[in-house]
Amino acid sequence: MARDFFTMDDFDLSGRTVLLRVDINSPINPATGQLLNDARIREHLTTIRELRRSKVALLAHQSRPGKDDFTSLEVHAERIATLLGRPVRFVPSLFGRPAVEAIQGMRVGDVVVLENTRFYSEEEALADAKLEKMATTHIVQRLAPLAEYFVLDAFAAAHRAQPSLVGFCEVLPSMAGRVMERELMMLARAVQDPARPKVAHLGGVKADDSIAVAKHMLEKGIVDKILTSGGVANLFLDASGIDPGPPTTEFMRREVDDYDPLIVECKALLSTFRGRILMPSDVVLNDHGQGKPVSTRALPAKLPIYDIGLDTIARYVDEIRRAKTIFYNGPAGVFELEPFSVGTRELLSAVAEADGFSVVGGGHTVAALEQLGIQSEIDHVSTGGGALMNFLAGKELPLVSALRRSHAKFGKTAGSAR
């Protein structure tokens, strides 16, 4: 497949100053400021290490304004240094004089981590603006002249059009970093592989996104079947005429933006794709912390649904085993609580053991994979949550568009190409 974006193979970056945008948005304990998980940081090490003959100014965000884990990137910089085994300098500035001087003073092999891009109002205020407009922001105007190249590695933020993510693509030759490149290649491979059958499991509580994914994947023939669990299954059960009961329905109404229109959408999908959207035939209710298995024929229930049941697990595992490609997103139940972790554990284990090509994504799902210690048995563990779902829903990813534009714009002038 012909690439229409640059990668790190297209340029000789040695001795050059490179702006590197990563996504190291991580869980942080708000009380202590401690980093709770460094999985995203570790993902980017390949890219950072490959740039050891360059001068690297690293850009990233942490959380969002108003949240209690909206912190400085100082702890991230410390962790990068530990993992790399060499000093990394943190500068509490993004494009002010300390940042500019730090970049100008770098030597080959140096890594400077700049401050959280979302500390600066332009990042949010100009989100979704035109690329040309984003290129006029202070961050781009001040930093771009100090660097020769922009490496965009923040796949997990690929659905966010913000100046520090896409603004540089207008003014600097911009390329995908190794995380971004691998994500785009693996996802394209999974989507385009013609071998059948192909299935997607959609669980978790972000059900709005999942409905859009189910629709796109079935309409475009990307998968043959959708296996539903968690909040996604609750919606489809209701749409199919099985009322899950007040505690579950009330929970879903709080979790999704527009419950009733979503049910209408689910009904339409069930009738268009008859027999191709699978729903649980049994579930596990939370009875004061204890699991209570019931058939869905016994619904509505006065207790909330917390997991899928054993019959459902067996049916889904069978589909997963036969599939040539498997997409997996979202826990099947409240897996953080032991009595309700069976569905998630069994389905993910089946995905790990299956012969088919497997793609797993989403923050909670990846956390469950880590708990089970079976990450290495998955063909592609995506760093993306929202980004992956947007991709699978067929939406354009602004970061990919920006890379393409940079390729078109700087293609002819890529004189330093290898």
Return the number of the residue (323 or 400) whose C-beta is nearest Mg ion.
400
96 touches ligand 3PG by CB under 6 A: no
Q: 64 touches which of ligand 3PG, Mg ion, none (CB within 5 to 8 A by kind)?
A: ligand 3PG
| Residue whose CB is less far from ligand 3PG, 361 or 385 | 385
Q: How many residues bind Mg ion (CB under 5 A)?
A: 1
**Residue 64 or residue 86: which is nearer to ligand 3PG going by CB?**
64
Q: Which residues, including other chains, have CB under 8 Å from residue 322's CB and lie 6 or more apart?
A: 197
Q: Considering only the stretches 108-116, 155-163, 186-194, 232-240, report the one whose residues sit in contact with ligand 3PG under the rule CB under 6 A.
A: 155-163
Q: Does 166 bind ligand 3PG (CB under 6 A)?
A: no
b or e along 263-287 (b: 16 or more beta carbons within 10 Å of the residue's beta carbon)?
Answer: bebbeebbeebeeebbbbebbbbbe
Q: Which of 42, 64, 133, 220 binds ligand 3PG (CB under 6 A)?
A: 64
Gap between the Cα atoms of 99 and 117, Å rounded: 12
CA distance 344 to 355: 19
**One-letter amino acid of 10:** D
Q: What residues between 352 and 381 interact with Mg ion by CB under 5 A? A: none
Residue choice 92, 293, 386, 394 for contact with Mg ion (CB under 5 A): 386
- Binder of ligand 3PG out of 291, 356, 361, 385 (CB under 6 A): 385
Stretch 15-54: interaction string toward ligand 3PG, x if CB under 6 A:
--------x-x-----------------------------
How many residues in the shown chain lie near ligand 3PG by CB under 6 A?
8
| Residue located via tokens 């002010």 | 96
Q: Which residue, 168 or 306, has its beta carbon nearer to ligand 3PG?
A: 168
Tell me if 27 contacts Mg ion by CB under 5 A. no
The span of 156-164, 281-289, 294-302, 400-408 binding ligand 3PG (CB under 6 A) equals 156-164
Nearest approach, Cβ of residue 77 and Mg ion (Å):
22
Choose, by CB under 6 A, the member of 96, 98, 247, 386 that binds ligand 3PG: 386
Work out which of 160, 182, 364, 407 binds ligand 3PG, going by CB under 6 A: 160
Q: What is the distance between the alpha carbons of residues 178 and 41, in angstroms, rounded to a whole number?
A: 13
206 binds, among ligand 3PG, Mg ion, none (CB under 5 to 8 A by kind): none
Q: With b meaning 16 or more CB within 10 Å and e meaning fewer, what string describes 371-381?
A: ebebeebbbbb
Complex with ligand 3PG: residue 331 or 385, whichever CB lies closer: 385
**Which of residues 92 and 386 has its CB atom nearest to Mg ion in the complex?**
386
Instruction: Look up residue 3 and give its amino acid.
Output: R
Stretch that binds ligand 3PG, among 8-16, 47-55, 128-136, 153-161 (CB under 6 A): 153-161
Which of ligand 3PG, Mg ion, none has residue 137 at its interface (CB below 5 to 8 Å by kind)? none
Residue 98 sits in the site that holds Mg ion (CB under 5 A): no
Positions in the binding site for ligand 3PG (CB under 6 A): 23, 25, 64, 156-157, 160, 385-386
